[in-house]
């Protein structure tokens, strides 16, 4: 199993139900093997709080994948990419570029996204958009690559079950 943490970052609390919509999308796409969401946290867009959770989940809990959602725009109050980048030991720019490319096909404003991706230890951290459609588009692009990324980061084989039709 790939153990996943989801860190929702927002200044606006629940964002009028958007957070629940994002959580439903993530549960739908990550709710089956080889994925297991084992941690979920909501924090305000404060770099110290973002970094605290990311450190706990990487250094103590050793989660294989951490998705942040939200707070990656150009606005002065969005700090998730900077907080994430400070903790990364190796960047994986191709993953962030893939998310932007896929999202741009549906929304040209995705080009303004500043999300980053990379490793801290053996944990892959990926910044995702904050809306349900952006999260769906990003995860649909990433999920085919995720088992291989975790295998490369951890050195352990991930068993992926083929879908039955």
Per-residue pLDDT, 12: 65
Cβ count near 163 (within 10 Å): 6
Phi-psi group of 124: left, alpha or beta (phi > 0 → left; psi -120 to 50 → alpha; rest → beta): beta
Between CA 87 and CA 97 the distance in angstroms is: 19
Is the predicted pLDDT of residue 17 greater than 80, yes or no?
A: no
CA-closest candidate to residue 125, choices 155, 159, 153: 153
Q: How many CB atoms lie within 10 A of CB 149?
A: 21
Residue 155 has pLDDT above 60, yes or no: yes
The set of residues, in sequence order, having a beta carbon less than 8 Å from that of 48 and lying 6+ positions away, is none
Mean pLDDT, residues 25-29 taken together: 96
Percent of the chain with pLDDT over 70: 95
Q: Can you list the positions of beta strands (E) in 30-86?
A: 35-43, 65-69
CA distance linking residue 24 with residue 18, whole number of Å: 10
Query: Contact 110/100 with Cβ under 8 angstroms?
Result: yes
CA dihedral 140, 70, 110, 15 (to 10 degrees): 100
pLDDT tens digit sequence for 73-115: 999 999 999 999 999 999 999 999 999 999 999 999 999 999 9
Crossing angle of helices 132-142 and 93-104, rounded to 10°? 130
Q: What is the pLDDT of residue 112?
A: 95
Domain positions in the chain: 2-154
Per the DSSP assignment, residues forming a β-bridge with 8 are: 42, 69
pTM for this model (two decimals): 0.94
Q: What is the mean pLDDT of the chain?
A: 93
Question: Thinking of the domain 2-154, which architecture would CATH place it in?
Answer: 3-Layer(aba) Sandwich (3.40)
């Amino acid at each position: 199993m790939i153990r996943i943490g989801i860190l929702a970052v927002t200044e606006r609390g629940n964002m009028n139900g958007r957070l629940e919509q994002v959580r439903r999308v993530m549960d739908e796409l990550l709710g089956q093997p080889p994925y297991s969401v084992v941690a979920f946290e909501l924090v305000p867009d404060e770099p110290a709080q973002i970094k605290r959770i990311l450190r706990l989940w990487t250094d103590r809990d050793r989660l294989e994948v951490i998705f942040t959602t939200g707070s990656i725009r150009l606005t002065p109050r969005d700090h998730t990419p900077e907080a994430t980048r400070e903790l990364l030991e190796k960047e994986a720019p191709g993953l962030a570029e893939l998310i932007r490319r896929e999202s741009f096909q549906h929304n040209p404003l995705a080009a303004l996204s500043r999300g980053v991706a990379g490793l801290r230890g053996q944990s892959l951290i990926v910044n995702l958009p904050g809306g349900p459609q952006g999260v769906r588009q990003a995860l649909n692009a990433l999920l085919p690559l995720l088992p291989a990324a975790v295998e490369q980061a951890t050195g352990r084989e991930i068993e992926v079950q083929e879908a039955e039709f």
